[in-house]
Amino acid sequence: MRLGIIGLPNSGKTTVFNALTGSSYPTEPFSSGQLEIHTAVVNVPDARVDKLSEVFKPKKTTYATVQYTDIGGLDKGIGEGGLSGPMRNELQQVDGFVHVVRAFADDAVPHPYDAVDPRRDLEIIDNEFLLLDLIAVENRLARLEEERKKGKIDNKQQHAAETALMERLHAHLSDERPLRDLDLTPAELKSLRGYGLLTLKPVLVVFNTDEAGEDPAAGLDYDHRKTLMLSLRGRLEAEIAQLDNPEDVALFLEEYAIAEPSRDRVIHLSYELLDIISFLTYGEDEVRAWPLRKGGTAVDAAGTIHSDLARGFIRAEVIAFEDFIAAGASVAEVKARGKMRLEGRDYIVRDGDMIVVRFAI
Ligand SMILES: Nc1nc2c(ncn2[C@@H]2O[C@H](COP(=O)(O)OP(=O)(O)OP(=O)(O)O)[C@@H](O)[C@H]2O)c(=O)[nH]1
Ligand SMILES: [Mg+2]
């Protein structure tokens, strides 16, 4: 799972990236407009994993991860001007976006459009993405038309269905609405996978502010599906992420009256945004959280661990994490209470399920 951090020049993308990943890439008020890409892998904080690790004392503890890519170089006009190949690749390949919007006022940091205006800035990038998708859809429609004219259609039904779908997308985009707001069937979504359509991807909007308590998201009319919003103090958060010592972090939080760093919240929202849950495996060797798409089955979970486990799947022993805690964090006690379930391959896995896969190959 990878999220691309996007936004206008000087909005604080690299600052937010540093805050999330604990990296220390330089953030400069004048570096704008360059294609610049950094990626880092981040552990998803999970108190359940901490607890299991404490109980089982495994050799290894592994958290689920999310990747963040800081994609510098987006600005007004990229839609019309066309994207460079590397930029296109980055944008198309990520699973979703973290859209950083400037909400801090600071004369030392020039704003590309002079005044701080989160609503407008949000729209600038959104409009570029709408235009890029519109161009992609128009290109595809032109191709389909060409095939029709030349009588080069292998499968008439498929050709007609695709043309109809592309026309629907076109109408929706022409209305200046992102594709993630459109009702699409799983089959339609699947058929669109290869196009890397940008407005189809989920978005976490992050307002980068300086003020405690300020919420630029409040009162903002931005009602889209697969869209979440939050505000954070980017520069402060990036400074916190550089501290190694938990006591220093605590002091810092107190001084600036921050209840908890936003980092964890952003990471959790990223997970939620991508419709992912975690299931857990446990034992003396390893305690681990694994990501699974919401709605995934026991056999999907098995396949996430290893393809052999999916192939030879017999049953899954499942314990809900809460039942484990309620039973005094003892597997024997969970069993004694009849709270360990044996589930078949089609069982829909829930967030926090502790799973042992029985298999034979
Ligand atoms: N006052 C204030 N300044 C910030 C904040 N976040 C970022 N900055 C400053 O804004 C400038 C730009 O920050 P970056 O993180 O480099 O912004 P960016 O979006 O990565 O910029 P480009 O990659 O050049 O487009 C730097 O001088 C930062 O220190 C903030 O929350 N408050
Ligand atoms: Mg940057």
Q: So what's the pLDDT on residue 359?
A: 95
Cα 306 to Cα 18, 41, 309, 312, 357: the distances in Å are: 33, 21, 5, 10, 10
Question: d(Cα 327, Cα 324) in Å, to the nearest integer?
Answer: 5
Helices (H), the chain: 13-21, 47-56, 78-81, 85-93, 118-149, 156-174, 186-192, 234-241, 246-255, 262-273, 298-305, 307-311, 321-326, 331-336
Q: So what's the pLDDT on residue 313?
A: 97
Q: So what's the pLDDT on residue 279?
A: 98
Q: How many of the other CB atoms lie within 10 Å of CB of 194?
A: 8
109 C-alpha to center of ligand 1: Å?
A: 7
179 DSSP assignment: G
DSSP 190-234: HHHGGG--GGGS-EEEEEE-SSTT--TTTT-----TTEEEEEE-H
Low-confidence residues in the chain, pLDDT < 50: none
Report, in angstroms and rounded to the nearest whole number, the Rg of the chain calculated over CA atoms.
23
307 C-alpha to center of ligand 1: Å?
A: 44
Q: How many of the other CB atoms lie within 10 Å of CB of 312?
A: 14
Residue 175 lies in a domain: no
Amino acid type, 20: L
Residue 340 lies in a domain: yes
Look up the CATH number of the domain holding residue 336: 3.10.20.30
Q: Is 138 helix (H, G, I), strand (E, B) or coil?
A: helix
Q: Which residues surround ligand 2, an ion (CB under 5 A)?
A: 13-14, 72
Residue 60 lies in a domain: no
- Tell me how many domains the chain contains: 1
Residue 76 lies in a domain: no
Residue 1 lies in a domain: no
- The parent domain of residue 317 ranges over 295-359
Q: So what's the pLDDT on residue 83?
A: 80
- What is the residue with the minimal CA distance to atom 4 of ligand 1? 235
Residue 247 lies in a domain: no
Residue 305 lies in a domain: yes
Q: So what's the pLDDT on residue 216?
A: 80
Residue to probe by mutation, ligand 1, list 37, 106, 124, 242, most atoms within 8 Å of CB: 106
360 C-alpha to center of ligand 2: Å?
A: 50
Pairing, β 286-293 against β 276-281 = antiparallel
Q: Is the CB of 235 under 6 A from ligand 1?
A: yes
Q: pLDDT tens, 194-242?
A: 899 999 999 999 999 987 777 787 778 899 999 999 999 999 999 998 8
Contact indicator for 288, 307 with CB cutoff of 8 Å: no
Residue with tokens 């969970």: 334
Cα 259 to Cα 43, 210, 213, 216: the distances in Å are: 21, 15, 11, 19
Q: Is the CB of 38 under 6 A from ligand 1?
A: no
Residue 212 lies in a domain: no
